[in-house]
Amino acid sequence: MRRWFKIFFPLIIFLAFSGCGLKKKERKLTVIFGTRLGDSGFAYFIQERFEKKYNIKIQPRYRCMEEAFNEIKEGGIDVLLHAHPDMEKLEKAGIVVERRKVAESDWVLVGPPDDPAGAGKCKDILKALEKIYENKARFLSRGDLSCENVVEEELWRMAGYEPRGKWYIVARLSNKPSLRMASQMGCYYLADRPTFLAEKDFLNLKILVEGGEILKDVWEVMIINPKRFRGVNYRDAIKFVEFVTSPEFQNEISKFGVEEYGYAPYKPLALESKSGKDGENYINAVRCRCSPDADARMAEIMARDYANDHKKLGDRYFKEGKLEDAKLSYHRAISIDPTFTEAYYMLGKVYLKLNQPEKAKEIWEKGLERNPGDKRLIRALKRLLRK
């Protein structure tokens, strides 16, 4: 008995103390959201749905663009979801990759309900600013180099004015405190619509001017370039990018805020601007997130997995009769893996349902170019040509 005890006791002790090591390590993704996404609640809306689907914990940080850039340089950031005029510069500088549009909100000019400058009579934001300037009506600026401040200063420049004087108040506060300060002081203020809607019950302000191209606020997602910055969790970051631009989540965007405000303050954009990447480029992107010595075959397998995810989503939409969503999902699957026969076949069926037989024929012929001799596509084409 003692002999067996001597043999197995060390093993039992080892297993007991190493048991914690058998626990699955929690996967984490560090995402910088624009502060306004936090203020409106939209960042949490994204986080909650992503974590539920992938069981990957998001570590959110809410930063203005200047702060975000400094943290990216320091390392430890995986994804940036922001709205700023300089996003394209970040991509060109090689700081970020996989930059894609996600959603659009807009800026609104808010002010006191009695509108002392008569700015609300102007449909054009530049004319409204002219009225405020001429009347020297109180205007509150964040003055903190935030995106909001950059947009506001650009609008003043476009209107042809350089605001100065006691009437032009510089708060140097973040978004929500600035809104409340504008309300307390009876100032005009350039606000993002989602945050204003989230705060409106606490404010004595109303929307006076809205609409127009120059007031659009475009939100984009991008991954921090793993070739420039160490420790980027590219594997999960690409899942986040694919998630927020997927038809499934894009449809959810249209529901955000409807119950509270009567309409959605964000408009989905990814469905209108789907990526033009072909399969080869996508596989290269997958290789980028593999270790340097990862072989091409593994990258292709991973790309096929992502393509299959889109195909499955397309199948679901097809069964539900959501043909436009199904069409986009199958197109995405083909763009990732141009040899995906099943995706070609189902996309052709979608076009038939949409009464576009010529388009179905074109898709199936493309599928045969990639997969010569595929019996299913040949049969589908023959049936179509008999009609």
How would DSSP label each residue in 232-298? --HHHHHHHHHHHTSHHHHHHHTTTTHHHHSS-S-EE-TTTS-----HHHHHHHHHHHS-TT--HHH
| DSSP designation for 24 | P
Q: For position 187, what pLDDT does the model report?
A: 97
How far apart CA 333 and CA 312 sit, in angstroms, is: 9
Instruction: Delimit the domains of the chain by residue range.
Output: 105-216, 275-387
DSSP code of 26? P
pTM here?
A: 0.66
pLDDT at 279: 42
Task: Please name the amino acid found at residue 30.
Answer: T
**One-letter identity of residue 52:** K
- Looking at residue 22, the DSSP 8-state letter turns out to be G
CA distance to 34, 41, 62, 240, per residue, from 67 (Å) = 10, 20, 9, 22
On whether the CB atoms of residues 187 and 138 are closer than 8 A, the answer is yes
**C-alpha to C-alpha distance for 117 and 124, rounded to whole angstroms:** 14
pLDDT in single tens digits along all 387 residues of the chain? 555 445 545 555 554 444 444 455 778 999 999 999 999 999 999 999 999 999 999 999 999 887 888 899 888 999 999 998 778 888 888 899 999 999 999 999 999 999 999 999 998 999 999 999 999 999 999 987 778 888 999 999 999 999 999 999 999 888 889 999 999 999 999 999 999 999 999 999 999 999 988 999 999 999 999 989 988 999 999 999 999 999 889 989 999 999 999 999 999 988 655 444 434 444 444 444 443 333 444 445 555 666 777 788 788 889 989 888 788 778 877 876 788 889 999 999 999 999 999 999 999 999 999 888 888 999 999 898 887
Give me the residue label for tokens 């609300």: 120
The two beta strands, 267-268 and 96-111, are antiparallel
Q: What is the pLDDT of residue 2?
A: 54
User: How much is the CA Rg of the chain, to the nearest whole Å?
Assistant: 26
CATH number of 105-216: 3.40.190.10
Give the CATH number of domain 275-387: 1.25.40.10
- Look-up of token digits 């943290």: 71
Strands 168-170 and 139-141: parallel
